[in-house]
Amino acid sequence: MRNTVVIVGGGFSGAVLAINLLRRPPAKPTDLILIERNAGIGRGVAYAQREFPYLLNVAAGRLSIDVNDSQDFLRFARRYDSAAEAGDFLPRAWYGDYLEDALRRAESEAPAQIRLQRMHTEVRGIEADATMRMRVLAAEQAPILADRVVLALGNPPAPLLPWAEEVQDHPGYLHDPWHVPRALEPHHAVLVIGNGLTMADVVLALTHERDQGPMVHTLSRRGLVPLPQALERVEPSVETMHGDGAQLLEASHSLRELLRTIRRLARESQARGGDWRPVIQLVRHWAQQLWHALPHPEQRRFVRHLLPIWSVHRHRQPPQSAQRLEQLREQGRLQVKAGRIQKMAERDGRIKVWWEPRGAADCESLHVDWVINALGPDYVLERTTDPLTQSLLKSGMIVADPLQLGLRTGAHGACIDREGRISERLFYLGPMLRAGHWEITGAAELLQWAEDLADHLRASA
C-alpha cells in the first residue's frame, strides 16, 4: 500500500512542505496530495496577484527557500527586473510566482516513488477511521484516505467585532482589506481599523500615485505603527552574537529581566555604531527557547502588555513604505489615532464612528465614507468562520491554547486534542504555531519548520 500525505492549504507553508517532500521523499512509495481552495498554489493571501503592487516586507536576498542557495529567489526575480539587488523590497506577487515555479521544478525532478496531485477544492472536515487512517472530507469529492494530514491553513481571517455588526452590510464597510476602493476623491474620508502592516498596505493602495486623494484616518488601541526595515547593510550575524544570546537565556525566567537585557543589548549595539534591529533578530533566533523558559504568568503578561510593542519592532515595513506613510502624515492626509471604537452606525449614507481616544474619558466621533477592517488575523479560534477549523474544534481534534494565540501543538507541529493527546497523524504548519513555540510567523521560521516536519514525515512513513 502506498503512503498518502495530504497537505490542506497551498500557500507558503503548504508549498514549501510539498517542495521539501518532493526533493527528499520517504523511501516508501508516496502519494502527496496538495489541496488549495483557490486557483494558485504558493500564493495564499500574502502573495496573490493584485492590482496594486504590494511589496515584500523582507529584502530579496533573504527570501530564498533553498537553504543551500541564498540567491535562488533573487535570480528568479531578475527574470522580471534584471537590475534587482539583494537589498531590494520586491513585489509580493513575484514571490508567489517563485513558489509556484519552485514547486513545478521540484515535481519534475522528484524521484519515481513520490507523486504529487494538486486539488482545488475546500476541505470541510477530517475524521479518523477504524484503521487509524484519516478521512479528508472535501467539497464534491469522495473522502480521501491519508496516513498523515498537515493543516497548512495560513492566517485566520480578521474578526468581525461587535462594533461592526450594525454596518457590516453597508456598502462602505469593507471586511476584506485587499479590495480597497480605487476611485476616491479628496472629499472622501476613510477609516482604517488597525495600525499594523495590513494598514500600511491599505493606505499605500488608497493613495498610490495620487497627489490628491482621500483623507485617511487609522485607529488602533495604542496607535503604534510598524517601524521600517533598515536599508540593506552588513549586520552582525546571530553566530557572532552568541554571548548576547546566552544573556537572553539567563534572563528568561522573568519578563522584566528579559526586557531589561534586550534594552541594554540595543544600547550596546548603538554604541558600536549599529542600532536595535540586530538585537531583534537575535531575539527571533532564540524566541522558541525564551518562550518555553518564561513561566505561564510571564507569557500572559507579555501578551497583555508587550505584544503590540514587540510587533512593531519585529514585523517591520519596507523603508519606502515607511517613508510614504510619513510623507502622508506630514501632508495631513493621514492621521494615526490611538483609542477604542465604541459604536458604528449609518448616517445619511455615510458611516458615523464613535470612538474613545486613549487616555481620555469622553468619546469623539468621525463621519467617513469607508471603513476598512485591517485588524489582521483573528487568533481567537472560538470566533473562527472557517468551516474546517470549526469542524476540528467541535470534534476535539484540535484545541485553542489558553492565551488565544493559536493552536496547541507538540513536536513537529503535531496537533494536541481535547484530551491532551498528541496526534501521530494530524499536524499543523503555519503562524498559529506561535501558541506553543512563539514567532513561527516569518518565512525563515516557517521554512525551518517545514524542513523539520518533512524530515519527521519521511522518517515515520
Instruction: Quote the pLDDT of residue 238.
Output: 53
**pLDDT tier, 394 (very low <50, low <70, confident <90, very high otherwise):** very high
pLDDT average, residue stretch 396-416? 95
CA atoms of 432 and 429, how far apart (whole Å) = 8
User: What whole-number percentage of the chain has pLDDT above 70?
Assistant: 97
Q: pTM to 2 decimals? A: 0.92
pLDDT average, residue stretch 302-322? 94
pLDDT average, residue stretch 385-397? 94
The pLDDT of residue 240 is above 60: no
Largest CA distance in the chain: 69
**pLDDT tier, 235 (very low <50, low <70, confident <90, very high otherwise):** low
The pLDDT of residue 395 is above 90: yes
Domains, the chain, ordered by start? 3-54+91-157+379-460 (3.50.50.60), 162-227+317-373 (3.50.50.60), 239-314 (no CATH)
The pLDDT of residue 1 is above 80: no
CA atoms of 175 and 405, how far apart (whole Å) = 21
Instruction: Quote the pLDDT of residue 231.
Output: 73
Residue 266 cell numbers, joined: 540595543
CA atoms of 142 and 397, how far apart (whole Å) = 21
pLDDT average, residue stretch 384-392? 92
Instruction: Quote the pLDDT of residue 234.
Output: 44
Going by their DSSP bridges, the two strands 414-416 and 422-428 should be labelled as antiparallel
Instruction: Quote the pLDDT of residue 39.
Output: 78
**pLDDT tier, 10 (very low <50, low <70, confident <90, very high otherwise):** very high
CA atoms of 265 and 398, how far apart (whole Å) = 39
pLDDT average, residue stretch 287-300? 94
